[in-house]
């Protein structure tokens, strides 16, 4: 129970400190960080005024880590140790990569998620992403002049559980408090919807560097309700580069390219793609290591022909989402285009053709996700805002269990609004069976082999019974981040056993702990100092508030109650300048507890006095 | 933010215990509850409050999900009345109904094999007409005649149609992939 501060009419309430929170768009190609300042969302640029941070990390032999533009410069010179588009590897194994042969990296296949062999050892995509997030955190803290209380990190709506969990772990590794994982199209809808006071049903078409999402949202008086989402978490602008790269290789009659040349030509391909959004044709020139000079002319028609089926690949998810939402194109009020790849004219044309109308392209497709995330971060951090809104999102893929014969049984269907939970009962099939294997998966296909395996665990300690007598209830809980927790419980008379697993991509808990230790090795002392400082601030403000409240309303308490509160204040006062953060917190909690009833009485009293409509800001 | 987990779904959403339902009122009540209990409202509160919000919002979503679909709403009303719909055990069905089910199933299999999207769309349409008719009878059984045995039979029929609709949806999805 927290102590409430009650402001008298005409008296200003205690100034509510603005809590620093950011929205981070952790993109395949570029990442951004944004915040709400003076009521409006804004992207935080680097010291040279650049908004985008290229999602590129370079690892040097001497241990130096370079991120962003400076890492970009290293990609042709040291391709193997310069990690680009790491988002494509999050929560993925080597077998999941369609084009692992054309990347310059040396992959190590680890259970669940691959690793990259670099000059400083094996790096998990989680660690690489954490390095990018750390750079954004530093940028934000330098620019805002303080510690962040938390961040909203965006993920593709079509990310599965393993990819989401990996993203959250990366944020944790970077020392960020994750307020929420937010789906990218939903973030874009927030920025667009609030800006334009939009009402009705909208489609967000989000084609990024490496991922494609489509979400259909209903906007009703500040409620953003996702009706359906679909996509392809391995389709994006990178694939268009790849097509041009293949075209160059074929046209120039090249073979057996080294890492350096591959990277160089991929870069040229990307530049050509970007140029073709503005011009009818573009020249591609490159000097390869062998001395061979590539000099080609690529026109729009050719580019559109070689990438036509990539555009087509985005239309089927659109159809699926429309079907799931039970909507026709006439029900759609507007189509919002998000992601740098939606600058390509043939992408816009295909979307316009599907919906029979021009899509909305009046917002910056690079920034809109970060801006929406910043707005949500500001709201979640508890900063007051004039308009309140609510996001109701869904899970993109069905969650299920393996049943007999390698079949997947769906427990929570895709497009269920989160948070959600579902329980399913199972029984034993052999007399005296005391253990049961549970295999959790995600996906739409009927066969287990075609779905993504999220976790396997064993429920032990089932009391021996006749076959079919035990009742094992497996519960799936999906939280507001879209992350799944599974628990199982045997619930025959009097005997219960339960286990909870957090599905992961095979990174064992101790491995995460190791990474955390690595990254915190130097930060340990700082963390303790910060924790102590925070505890002191919290304690002092609670004492001040309680003393102030007693000065006004002590008469509400009996003598004994008054004494209890005074005693708790005295105890906390004794500790507050000491070095023991845990003790400070314990005694703060004790004071909070002792003032619980007092706070209620004061509220009742306030209500009685007709002070309705006063802001009760919570302390502590 | 106290939340009463013992309420049934109708009471939670402040709606009468009837099959015929005002969709707009259901949606408005749902949004109102989520605005109050959604975990985003508790993001800067202590962990205990976050857990409570998670559970409350999960329950609100469950209630909305069950009441929104006519089949699950009917099944739920019967459950509240203490009537088992026997969907897994009772397979007694009028012969004419079963014959039609078989015909439809065959059409789906055939259309799937022929990759005929138009036929699948038409089947989905026909099925929708049939379903609306059954839902209207279910409403009369539950709200007017209080004939729970008759209602349970209609629920079992609707369950057949739901499975068929899933089969059509799966077939369409295969064609889209």
Chain B residue closest to A21 (CA)?
B44
Q: SS3 helix, strand, coil % of chain B, rounded to 5? A: 75, 0, 25
Domain extents for chain B?
Answer: 9-68, 95-176
Exposed e or buried b per residue across A182-200, where buried means at least 16 C-beta atoms within 10 angstroms of its C-beta: bbbbbbbbbbbbbbeebee
Distance, in Å, from the CA atom of A505 to the CA atom of A343, rounded to the nearest integer, reads 34
What is the reported pLDDT for A523? 47
Q: Are the beta carbons of A514 and A173 closer than 8 angstroms?
A: no
Look up the pTM and report it: 0.81
Read off the pLDDT of residues A151-187 as tens digits, 9 standing for 90 and up.
Answer: 999 999 999 999 999 999 999 999 999 999 999 999 9
CB atoms A444 and B173 under 8 Å: yes
B contacts of A444 (beta carbons < 8 Å): 173
Residues of A in contact with B34 (CB under 8 A): 223, 390, 392
What pLDDT, on a 0 to 100 scale, did the predictor assign at position A104?
A: 83
Q: Do A388 and B31 touch (CB under 8 A)?
A: no
Q: Check: CB of residue A397 under 8 Å from CB of residue A83.
A: no
Which residues of chain B have a CB within 8 Å of the CB of A391? 40
Query: For A63-85, what is the mean pLDDT?
Result: 93
pLDDT tens-digit series, residues B42-84: 988 898 999 999 999 999 999 999 999 999 999 999 999 999 9
A418 touching B (Cβ < 8 Å): yes
* Chain A nearest CA to B58, separation (Å): 5
Q: Is A383 on the interface with B (CB under 8 A)?
A: no
Residue B34 has its nearest CB partner, among A381, A392, A477, at A392
Torsion from C-alpha of A130, A136, A137, A141, nearest 10 degrees: 170
Cβ neighbours of B31 in A, within 8 Å: 220, 223, 225, 390
Task: Tell me which chain B residue has its CA closest to the CA of residue A19.
Answer: B44
Residue in A with minimal Cα distance to B42:
A380
Residues of chain A in contact with residue B44, where contact means CB-CB under 8 angstroms, are: 19, 149, 179, 380-382
pLDDT attached to residue A7: 42
Contact A223 B34 (CB under 8 A): yes
Q: B54 in contact with A at a CB cutoff of 8 Å?
A: yes
- Fold that domain B95-176 belongs to in CATH: Monooxygenase (1.20.1280)
Q: What confidence score (pLDDT) does residue A514 get?
A: 54
Residue A598 per-residue DSSP state:
H
Which pLDDT does position A144 carry in this prediction? 93
pLDDT band at A435 (very low <50, low <70, confident <90, very high): confident
Using 50, 70 and 90 to split pLDDT, how confident is the model at A190?
A: very high
pLDDT at A197: 86
- pLDDT at position A606 is 66
Kindly state the average pLDDT of the residues A299-328: 94
Q: How far apart are CA A154 and CA A168, in angstroms?
A: 10
Distance from CA of A562 to the nearest CA of B (A): 26
Record: contact A417-B65, CB cut-off 8 A: yes
Q: What superfamily does domain B9-68 belong to in CATH?
A: DnaJ domain (1.10.287.110)
Answer whether A216's CB lies under 8 Å from A229's CB. Answer: yes
Choose the weakest-confidence range: A88-97, A125-134, A217-226: A88-97
- Nearest in space to A28 (alpha carbons), one of A211, A183, A154, A197: A211
Contact status, residue B71 vs residue B162, Cβ threshold 8 Å: yes
The alpha-carbon gap from B40 to the nearest alpha carbon of chain A, in Å, equals 6
Cβ contacts of A472 within 8 Å, gap of 6 or more: A425, A426, A427, A428, A436, A459, A462, A488, A489, A490, A491
Q: How far apart are CA A531 and CA A171, in angstroms?
A: 19
Among all residues of chain B, which has the CA nearest to that of A389? B35
Q: Measure CB to CB from residue A316 to each of B39, B54, B176 and give the nearest one.
A: B176
Identify the closest residue of chain A to B166 by CA–CA distance: A324
Residue A4 has pLDDT above 60, yes or no: no
Asked if B32 has any chain A CB less than 8 Å from its own CB, the reply is no
- Find chain A residues with C-beta within 8 A of B177's C-beta: 316
- Model confidence at A530, in pLDDT bands (50, 70, 90)? low
Q: Which residues of B touch A419 (CB under 8 A)?
A: 39, 54, 57-58, 61
Of B58, B172, B177, the CB nearest to A419: B58
| Residues 255-294 in A contacting B (C-alpha not used; CB under 8 Å) | none
Residues A153 and A172: beta-carbon distance below 8 Å = no
Residue B34 at interface with chain A, using a CB cutoff of 8 Å: yes
Residue A473: phi and psi, rounded to 5, are: -100, 120
User: Is residue A542 within 8 angstroms of chain B, CB to CB?
Assistant: no
Q: Which of A8-17, A115-124, A139-148, B4-13 has the lowest mean pLDDT?
A: A8-17
User: Touching check for B58 and chain A: CB below 8 Å?
Assistant: yes
Which pLDDT tens digit goes with each residue over B140-172? Answer: 999 999 999 999 999 999 999 998 998 898 888
Burial of B16 (0-12, 13-18, 19+ CB in 10 A): exposed
Q: What pLDDT does B5 receive? A: 92
pLDDT for A550-595, tens place per residue?
888 888 888 888 888 888 898 888 888 777 888 888 888 888 888 8
Q: Which residues of B touch A225 (CB under 8 A)?
A: 31
CA proximity to B21, closest of A224, B13, B81 = B13
pLDDT, average across residues A288-305: 95
CB pairs under 8 A between A and B: 62
Average pLDDT over all residues of chain A: 86
**Does residue A413 sit at the B interface (CB-CB below 8 Å)?**
no
Question: Between A180, A320, A418, which is nearest B173 by CB?
Answer: A320
Active site residues of A: 25, 87, 184, 206
* 8 A C-beta contact, residue A231 and residue A213: yes
Predicted confidence (pLDDT) per residue in A445-495, tens digit: 878 888 888 887 777 777 788 888 888 888 889 999 999 888 777 777 555
pLDDT band at A10; cut points 50, 70, 90: very low
- Give yes or no for B23 touching A (CB within 8 A): no
User: How are beta strands A334-338 and A200-207 bridged, if at all?
Assistant: parallel
Distance from A268 to chain B by nearest Cα, in Å?
32
A270: tokens are 């990307």
CB contact under 8 A, A180 and B43: yes
How far is the C-alpha of A131 from the C-alpha of A44, rounded, in Å?
18
Q: Sign of torsion, CA A265 A267 A270 A276? A: negative
Inter-chain CB proximity A420 and B61 less than 8 Å? yes
Please tell me which of the candidates B35, B44, B58 has its beta carbon nearest to residue A421: B58
Gap from A259 CA to chain B (nearest CA, Å): 34
Q: How far apart are CA B174 and CA A266, in angstroms?
A: 34
How does residue A224 score in pLDDT terms, banded at 50, 70 and 90? Answer: very high
Cα dihedral A487, A491, A495, A498 in deg (nearest 10): 0
Distances, alpha carbon A320 to alpha carbons A22, A184, A327, A412, in Å = 33, 19, 10, 18
Q: What is the mean pLDDT of residues A410-428?
A: 91
pLDDT at A529 exceeding the cut of 50: yes
Output the CA–CA distances (angstroms, integers) from residue B120 to B97, B104, B165, B169, in the order listed.
20, 10, 10, 9
> CB contact, 8 Å: A416 with chain B?
yes
CB pair distance less than 8 Å for A480 and B57: yes
3-state DSSP assignment of residue A269: helix
Partner B contacted by A475 (CB < 8 A): no
- Which has more confidence, A66 or A475? A66
Q: Is the pLDDT of residue A506 over 70?
A: no
Q: Does A420 touch chain B (CB under 8 A)?
A: yes
Residues of chain A found within 8 Å of residue B88, distances taken between Cβ atoms: none
């Amino acid at each position: 129970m927290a102590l409430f501060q009650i402001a008298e009419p005409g008296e200003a309430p205690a100034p509510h400190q603005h809590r620093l929170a950011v929205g981070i768009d952790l993109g395949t190609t570029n990442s951004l960080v944004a915040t709400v300042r003076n009521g409006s969302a804004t992207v935080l640029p680097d010291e040279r005024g650049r908004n985008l941070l290229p999602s590129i990390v370079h690892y040097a032999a001497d241990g130096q880590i370079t991120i962003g533009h400076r890492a970009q410069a290293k990609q042709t010179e040291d391709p193997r140790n310069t990690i680009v588009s790491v988002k494509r590897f999050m929560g993925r194994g080597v077998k999941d990569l369609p084009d692992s042969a054309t990347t310059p990296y040396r992959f190590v296949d680890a259970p669940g998620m691959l690793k990259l062999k670099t000059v400083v050892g094996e790096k998990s995509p989680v660690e690489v992403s954490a390095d990018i997030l750390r750079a954004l955190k530093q940028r934000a803290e330098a620019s805002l002049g303080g510690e962040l209380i938390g961040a909203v990190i965006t993920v593709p709506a079509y990310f599965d559980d393993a990819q989401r969990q990996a993203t959250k772990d990366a944020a944790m590794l970077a020392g960020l408090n994750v307020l929420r994982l937010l789906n990218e199209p939903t973030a874009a809808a927030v920025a667009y919807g609030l800006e334009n006071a939009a009402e009705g049903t909208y489609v967000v078409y989000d084609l990024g560097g490496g991922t494609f999402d489509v979400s259909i949202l209903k906007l009703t008086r500040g409620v953003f309700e996702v009706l359906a989402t679909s996509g392809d978490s391995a389709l994006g602008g990178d694939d268009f580069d790849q097509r041009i790269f293949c075209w160059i290789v074929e046209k120039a009659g090249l073979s057996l390219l080294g890492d350096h040349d591959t990277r160089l030509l991929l870069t040229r391909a990307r530049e050509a793609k970007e140029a073709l959004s503005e011009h009818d044709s573009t020249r591609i020139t490159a000097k390869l290591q062998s001395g061979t000079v590539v000099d080609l002319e690529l026109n729009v028609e050719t580019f559109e022909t070689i990438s036509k089926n990539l555009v087509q690949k985005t239309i089927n998810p659109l159809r699926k989402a429309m079907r799931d939402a039970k909507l026709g194109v006439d029900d759609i009020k507007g189509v919002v285009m998000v992601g740098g790849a939606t600058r390509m004219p043939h992408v816009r044309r295909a979307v316009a053709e599907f919906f029979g109308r021009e899509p909305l392209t009046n917002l910056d497709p690079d920034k809109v996700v970060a801006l929406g995330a910043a707005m949500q971060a500001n709201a979640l951090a508890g900063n007051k805002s004039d308009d309140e809104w609510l996001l109701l999102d869904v899970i993109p893929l069905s969650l299920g269990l393996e049943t007999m014969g390698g079949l997947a049984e769906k427990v929570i269907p895709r497009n269920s609004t989160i948070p959600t939970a579902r329980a399913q009962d199972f029984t034993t099939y052999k007399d005296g069976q005391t253990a049961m294997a549970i295999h959790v998966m995600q996906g739409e296909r009927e066969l287990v082999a075609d779905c993504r395996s999220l976790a396997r665990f064993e429920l032990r300690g089932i009391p021996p019974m006749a076959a079919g007598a035990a009742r094992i209830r497996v519960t799936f809980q999906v939280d507001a981040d879209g992350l799944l927790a599974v628990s199982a419980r045997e619930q025959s008379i009097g005997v219960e056993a339960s286990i909870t697993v957090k599905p992961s991509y095979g990174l064992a808990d101790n491995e995460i702990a190791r990474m955390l230790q690595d990254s915190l090795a130097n930060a340990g002392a700082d963390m303790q100092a910060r924790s102590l400082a925070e505890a002191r601030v919290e304690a002092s403000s609670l004492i001040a508030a309680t003393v102030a409240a007693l000065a006004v309303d002590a008469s509400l308490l009996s003598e004994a109650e008054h004494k209890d509160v005074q005693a708790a204040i005295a105890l906390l006062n004794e500790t507050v300048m000491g070095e023991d953060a845990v003790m400070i917190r314990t005694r703060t909690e004790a004071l909070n507890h002792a003032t619980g009833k007092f706070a209620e009485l004061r509220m009742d009293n306030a209500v009685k006095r007709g002070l309705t409509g006063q802001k009760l800001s919570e302390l502590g | 933010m106290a939340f009463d987990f013992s309420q049934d779904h109708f009471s939670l959403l402040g709606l009468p215990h009837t099959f015929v339902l005002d969709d707009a009122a259901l949606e408005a009540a749902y949004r109102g509850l989520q605005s109050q209990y959604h975990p985003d409202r508790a993001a800067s509160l202590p962990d205990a409050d976050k857990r409570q919000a998670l559970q409350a919002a999960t329950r609100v979503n469950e209630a909305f999900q069950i009441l929104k679909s006519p089949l699950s709403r009917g099944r739920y009303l019967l459950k509240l009345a203490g009537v088992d719909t026997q969907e897994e055990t009772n397979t007694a069905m009028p012969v004419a109904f079963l014959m039609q089910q078989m015909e439809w199933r065959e059409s789906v299999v055939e259309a799937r094999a022929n990759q005929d999207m138009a036929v699948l769309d038409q089947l989905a349409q026909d099925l929708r007409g049939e379903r609306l008719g059954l839902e209207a009878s279910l409403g009369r059984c539950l709200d007017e005649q209080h004939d729970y045995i008759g209602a349970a039979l209609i629920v079992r029929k609707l369950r057949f149609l739901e499975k068929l609709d899933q089969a059509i949806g799966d077939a369409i999805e295969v064609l889209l992939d």
